Structure 1
Amino acid sequence: MLQTPRTRTRYPNPSSSFSSGRSSPVSEAFSGFSADSDVSSSNTSASSVFDSSCTRHDRLGAWFLGPKAENIGFLKQFLNSVADSTEHARLAYQPDDPKFIGPEMQASSVFQKEMSELDVALKQLVGALSEHSIPFWSPRYNAHMNGDTSLPGLLGYLAAALFNPNNVCTESSPLTSVIERDVGLQLCQMLGYNISDVESSKPWGHIVCGGSVANLESMWAARNMKFYPVSLACAMEPGAPLDFIRDEFMIELCTGETKLFSQASSWELMNLKPETVFDIPERLQNEYAISSGALSTALGPYLIQTCGKDVIENKFNLKPSKYFVGTTKHYSWPKGAAVTGIGSEHIIDVPVDIDARM
């Protein structure tokens, strides 16, 4: 059982730092929340490395459990809140339904045995983790790029896990899909992208399981985008589904020249600007009433995802693709090249200067 706090102190709503103009469901739920200040005296001594009068570390200090578990009282209070909210949600759904796990079941020897085994196994796991894990939370550890897990990330992860949403579609995740979209836009804004609603090429982002998969997906998307024009050229060949536009559809080349798409060379098609490629589906919809569904059906057999890279490269007499990365690259880039069919030996290292510029 998690401890109930003895004293409660107010802290400001963290969402006040956002400038989106509207509060999120999550920030509203946490506004005005209070946390326990149950911290041992050994963790708050005057011998702290940071001067207590210095406020520049105060905000950062609220984001982590701390190398000496200084914020353990807050963590316990937050975890109690998560447990209470989860209980309320389950009781509020169809409140007239009978309980499945009743007192008699909980008192049975089989139930008690399972709980006892869970208790033992959990203690063994936590004990082993405590004894054998790397102290990534400590400022003394600098061997890897791992660090302490932030309290917001940890609590959000645990809270969402209790509801088990699946962000594959909104019918399985009506709230977390919205949060995913909002966080993606926040990250885009942080990196300098224009997230204005009037921007036609509005950026977006979505959740992946880690940095390696994010890099793989970026390589996958770049590969598909690069080969899209030649796949479209295949779909425009005589007798192909889109041959009716082969004598009309114009495209702007990377040189700025406008040319009939069906007459563009392989080099010209492979070097179209990304924004030019991205505009093609919308143009086909507006100029020829080709819906996204019809376009997907027509293009499907010719896409690199369907027929493979080698088939397209041989058909258009293309040399093997190359992928440029910095010499300081993460090991996931060659792995991504292998998975996408580009091949790890086709990764080209670009020197990086002292300012981390390629």
Structure 2
Amino acid sequence: MKTTPARRGAGMIAAGALVAGALAALPATAAHAAPSTTNYMCTAYGQSMDAKLAVDITAPATINTGIPLSLNGPVEVAWGDTWTNFVRGPAAVKFHTASATAPVLVNGVPLATPAKITFPAASLVVPATGPLVWPGTITLPAIPTTSGGDVEVKLGKADFAMNVSLVYSGHKPTDAAIPCAVSGAAPTIASVDVTPPGTLAPVAALKAAGKVAVGQRLTASGGTTNPASSVSYQWLVGGRAAGAGSAYVVKPADLGKAVAVRATAKRAGYVTRVTTVNVGKVAAGTLAVKGKAKITGKAKVGKKLKVKPGKAAGARVKYQWLKNGKRIKGAKGKTLKLKKSFKGKKISVKVTYTKVGYKTVTQKTKAVKVKK
């Protein structure tokens, strides 16, 4: 790869026509290089006249691969002696808006989007000496730098016609159409060295916070770089992508699996930086049960008792009725009919809450004594 200093160029291209601008390369410490010129021949009133278009663009000496090269700048048409002397008599020359597009070639390959050169409507006073100059602008598309080599930018040819009005003192404006065509080769407007992508240096280490258990929320932070980059997070469960973003809620299906988080830092022109940290193995979650289970109804022979459990979202609830602390065979429903044999006995219920991925929760109601 060649190493060159900063380049600044001035390309001369013909009037109203368009073609390409010039960007001659120069050392960073030098002034403008000698302009590269493309001539245009224009015709008005049956007369041929020359014109040049100067494109003034500053380009960097180098740019990292992956960073689009932006090249825009002012342009101006400098008319030759034929036209300038012809219109030196009028008090002013009114130019109507003119524009054209030109292909942009990067290392000889045209881009899909062309450059556009625009000259706005303007009333210009013809100078006593020197050429008549009409200022305008050139807008180029972003130049890609991913081709694997240095970038040379050229503008293809584009012809266009201008309309002007000659304004003589005390007379009505006289309109003139001036078609122009390129008569020379379009110059290079930029030549830039494309260097390998830069390196993103770590600033804050990637880390995760939160309890690694079902139902818990984990949060990621860090993974930032210098220069600043765009950082995204990816959660991995059992080695597979499980969710994106800075937060992740551990799922029941994650139980027993290893959790990790990955940070990806990206910046145009730099090598993507990827870091991963292990968070831990997923433990069973703690099932939240709101309220205590209790027995309702009259504890009297022949009556029915009913158990009211606590609230546990998504949990499966099981019951086991107890008599003096011992299991009552087959008594696993929400209700229990009190038999004569229960007289004087203490009745209670063991309530079990289960949910996939969570620890089992067991409650025991207060005992009630059965009366006659």
TM-score range, shorter chain: under 0.3
Higher relative CO (Cα under 8 Å, sequence separation at least 6) belongs to 2
TM-score for both structures, normalised by structure 1? 0.19
For the pair shown, the structure with the greater C-alpha radius of gyration is 2
Greater share of residues in strand:
2
